[in-house]
Structure 1
Amino acid sequence: MKKSVWWVLGIVVILVGAIVGVHQVSQSAKAKTTTITVGSMGSDYDIWKHIAKSKDAKDAGLKIKVQQVTDGVQLNNGTAQGNIDVNAFQSYSYYEAYNKQHPKQKLAALGTTYLEPLGIYSKKYKKVSDIPAGATIAIANNPANTARGLLLLQSAGLIKLKANFSALGNVSDIKSNPKQLKFKEIDDTTGPRVLKDVDAVLISNTVALEGHLHVLTDSIFHEKVNQSTRENINILATDKANKNNAKYKKLVKLYHQKDIQRYIKSKYYGTKIEVQKPLSYLK
């Protein structure tokens, strides 16, 4: 009788162990195939669609769903609210400006991706030094890109900004404007279309490519990868609560895989300059 009892108990233990084991395997498999929703726009959306289907993503055990959102603030809001896990579209300065404007739903940077140079374009002049006194320069009308454009104009030697110029700076922060340049604020997606109407216009590279312009060859001045442009490096961002999420951080490493970089360089003619730096470099 005792032997029968122990035999029954043994079977129960084995069955329980098997059930627990299957549950753990099931949970493990589920964890490995958890879908990460990446929100993006423009050329970044196309890049992440490619990355999601790549062998590199599969090898990394990452299942990625790419969602297109065409407004940057909405994309950041969706990320902060948890509707999007990670977003891929913005520069560090844009991210900083968003966090300052939305202190109750802050984002966290996961890692760097690239610098897409902002350029100064002109149909009338071939060099920055040729731009005459009183010329009209078109700049973006959103805070982050306004500040970025003014910093580029300073790098080009056209203006000087106040010492405390910030990511939300604007034309009122210009300390010196020796050529008495005039500034026309525009929707930054219209840059190529207003080229003929102004003396020069600042155009982001994504918009420039859409307008069949190549920043490295068609602009009369553009950003370089150095300390002065570190805040313009693009990043992956997530909700602040997820800043240490290991799977999300894998996306940064995935972006920098050699196969992925070859694809990006070929498709965008080398205008998305890879930047693989620690987050401390941006601060």
Structure 2
Amino acid sequence: MEKINRPMKLMYITNDPHIATYAESCGVQRIFVDMEYIGKDERQGHLDTHKAKHTPADVKRVKGVLQKAEVMVRINPIYDGTANEVEDVIKAGADVIMLPMFKTVAEIDTLVGLVNKRARICLLLETPQALARLDSILERAADLDEIHLGLNDLHLAMQLDFMFELLSGGLVEYVAGAVKAKGLIFGFGGIACIGGGAIPAELILSEHIRLGSEMVILSRTFHHNARSLDDLKNKIDLKKEIDLLQDTCIKYSQVNSSTLLQNRQLLKAAISKLKKS
């Protein structure tokens, strides 16, 4: 699969304008404002995952302080209030709108009609139903910009033991190939700081490069649940960690395919070992 020879687009979740500005200065290209709350607690209430409820006002505040980074807003799954939600976030300055937990092509068509080319559209593919309908979804490629594969909710819905089974089992590779064949930007999951993660972040990043992924969400290891900019600066040297991540991307983009395949075997072994522990 064709590798991507440019920096990975890094997505940083925050609704704090001060943190957003700082993250941008450290090399983050996309601030991720997360308005999704419908059904999230039922799916992930037992997990230590991001569950903050951001608002259109947060979108406006964050957009107002950024110089170069774009703002992506994850709205709620399609519901009675979607039309108002879409209008609110577009007026607030959203560059990209992410649709989570969709199951049908009809839901995509609803969003496309509401957005009406006023923002880019990123589908968060994270349900078995959407996965089964991937071919039909990709028939709408002309109206879409990106597809991000959500490993966490998808592995829960598929009753797998560990989300990275989707990566080791070949499903991510299949989706990546299908999405990129339609000319859409593809990404998946999140990434920990280099040297961290239950599965070494370096091996996850190697798969991103091998599969031609162009975007990834920075995990909690990049913010440690910081409540303020000062708190964040006390917990992590964000620029150092982002530079290290991008340097690792460049390193893997320059190696041959056999090295990336060897890393894949190491990844599969690490996932298998974690499952057994």
TM-score of the two chains, using structure 2 as the length reference: 0.26
Q: Which of the two has higher C-alpha Rg?
A: 1
Q: Which structure carries more strand by proportion?
A: 1
